């Protein structure tokens, strides 16, 4: 094996990108037995993380968006809706998911910070579990949260549900320096984060730490992993930030660090599940998931994940509105990854387009790295 097994050649990366686009999403493509849907419950958030390009705003917080469809053209991408997702729009989104033809279902709560609409989160879970069209199919919930408003009382309400908490968490004060507080100081945010970790540890709920590293933190992969181990985190997913310009030396540092982490975890897997072992993910920033915005607009998820950095993607990634989709087919309504790539090339140009597909190639490099690591033996 090469002295630098984490490094791939340009030819290898080209081939892997082509392979990933052709195979489509392993999680949601035609070979999958699951359909899932993401819900943007609110665009309000206590933080303004430097690697988050969702169009966040506190305008209209706590006010239900009427859920009306806005006219959309490629020449004028849809604007940013003001207000939170109403209970009616949320129910219509669940109704649409239940039209899935597949054996398993998934519902992910996103934002903004979805716990700012906690009553809606719980109501949506209850509605989905009791939905007559569910027909007894396994249903999984994923709550993506910054954790700042999690406490024992709220977690107790969620106990017993088929739920996993995806805790956006970047480690100690150094690692969390990119999570800028919007309504509170860094000290207050840090204290709330620590309390949330303790509450999750005591709750018995399934949860994992989702750490995102921007280019400026490329050298910190091993530090995030070490912190998670020391803090008793049960499971960890390490990610690189998309929508950002990764210089070659930063990409190399990230890949080298991930290779070292996989090697360490292979030698001592006890006490922590490292989710990075599961290669075959979608080639970020392309992603197979669909998301419903607060106004009922339905997009491929990258439209909102890159909203501030690449707003032109919003029209190209728009699938429609619940007004016109709710009674139609859900399964295979999403764009295939090859189609998303083509739409991206039509929507972007110049440096934004280069950065986008450079991010895709970094995802391919991660995929190849994990494949090589697994060939040496993955933990049970």
Q: Stretch 138-162: mean pLDDT, rounded?
A: 96
Tell me the pLDDT tens digit for each residue of 245-286. Answer: 999 999 999 999 999 999 999 999 999 999 999 877 777 789
Q: What is the mean pLDDT of residues 284-310?
A: 94
What are the Cα distances from residue 318, in Å, to 42, 131, 269, 283, 299? 18, 27, 41, 19, 4
Crossing angle of helices 337-347 and 10-23, in 10° steps, is: 110
Q: What structural domains and CATH numbers belong to the chain? A: 10-375 (3.20.20.70)
From CA 362, how far away is CA 240, in angstroms rounded? 9
Instruction: Tell me if the bond preceding 285 is cis, omega within 30° of 0.
Output: yes
Q: Which residues contact 34 (CB under 8 A, 6 or more apart)?
A: 27, 28, 102, 103, 104, 105, 106
> Apex CA 333: angle with CA 70 and CA 164, to 5°?
95
- Rounded CA gap, 380 and 378, in Å? 6
329 membership: H or E segment, kind and range:
none
Strand runs labelled E in 111-198: 139-145, 163-168, 179-181
User: For 230, phi and psi rounded to 5 degrees?
Assistant: -65, -30
Averaged over 125-132, what is the pLDDT?
98
* Position 69 pLDDT exceeds 80: no
Q: How confident is the model at residue 331 (pLDDT cuts 50, 70, 90)?
A: very high
Q: What was the pLDDT predicted at 304?
A: 95
- pLDDT of 74: 46
Contact 341, 363 (CB under 8 A): no
Backbone angles phi, psi at 200, to 5 degrees: -65, -40
Give me the pLDDT at residue 68, please: 74
pLDDT in tens, 71-87: 554 455 577 888 999 99
What values do phi and psi take at 277, rounded to 5?
A: -65, -25
Contact (CB, 8 A) for 205 and 155: yes
Write down the pLDDT at residue 256: 98
What's the whole-number average pLDDT of the chain?
Answer: 93
Report pLDDT for 27: 84
Beta bridge partners of 34: 104
Res. 125 pLDDT band, cuts 50 70 90: very high
């Amino acid at each position: 094996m090469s002295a630098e097994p984490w490094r791939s050649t340009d030819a290898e990366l080209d081939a892997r990108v082509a392979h990933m686009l052709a195979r489509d999403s392993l999680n949601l493509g035609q070979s999958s037995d699951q359909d899932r849907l993401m819900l943007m419950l609110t665009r309000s958030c206590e933080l303004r993380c430097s690697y988050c390009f969702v169009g966040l705003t506190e305008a209209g917080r706590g006010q239900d968006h009427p859920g009306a469809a806005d006219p959309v053209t490629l020449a004028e991408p849809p604007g940013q809706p003001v207000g939170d997702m109403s209970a009616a729009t949320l129910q219509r989104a669940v109704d649409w998911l239940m039209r899935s033809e597949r054996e398993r279902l998934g519902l992910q709560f996103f934002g903004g910070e979805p716990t700012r609409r906690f009553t809606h989160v719980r109501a949506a879970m209850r509605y989905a579990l009791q939905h007559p069209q569910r027909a007894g199919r396994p249903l999984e919930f994923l709550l993506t949260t910054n954790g700042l408003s999690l406490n024992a009382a709220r977690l107790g309400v969620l106990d017993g549900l088929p739920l996993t908490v995806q805790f956006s968490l970047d480690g100690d004060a150094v690692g969390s320096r990119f999570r800028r507080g919007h309504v509170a100081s860094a000290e207050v945010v840090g204290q709330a984060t620590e309390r949330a970790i303790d509450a999750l540890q005591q709750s018995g709920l399934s949860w994992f730490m989702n750490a995102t590293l921007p280019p400026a933190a490329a050298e910190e992969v091993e530090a995030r992993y070490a912190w998670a181990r020391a803090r008793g985190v049960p499971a960890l997913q390490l990610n690189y930030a998309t929508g950002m310009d990764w210089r070659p030396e930063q990409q190399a540092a990230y890949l080298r660090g991930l290779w070292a982490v996989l090697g360490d975890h292979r030698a001592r897997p006890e006490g922590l599940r490292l989710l990075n072992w599961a290669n075959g993910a979608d080639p970020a920033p392309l992603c197979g998931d669909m998301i419903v915005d607060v106004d009922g607009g339905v997009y491929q998820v990258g439209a909102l994940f890159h909203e501030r950095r690449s707003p032109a993607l919003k029209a190209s990634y728009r699938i429609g509105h619940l007004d016109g989709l709710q009674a139609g087919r859900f399964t295979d309504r999403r764009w295939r990854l090859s189609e998303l790539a083509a739409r991206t090339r039509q929507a972007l140009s110049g440096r934004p387009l280069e950065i986008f597909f450079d991010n895709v190639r970094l995802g391919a490099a991660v995929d190849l790295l994990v494949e090589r690591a697994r060939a040496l033996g993955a933990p049970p």
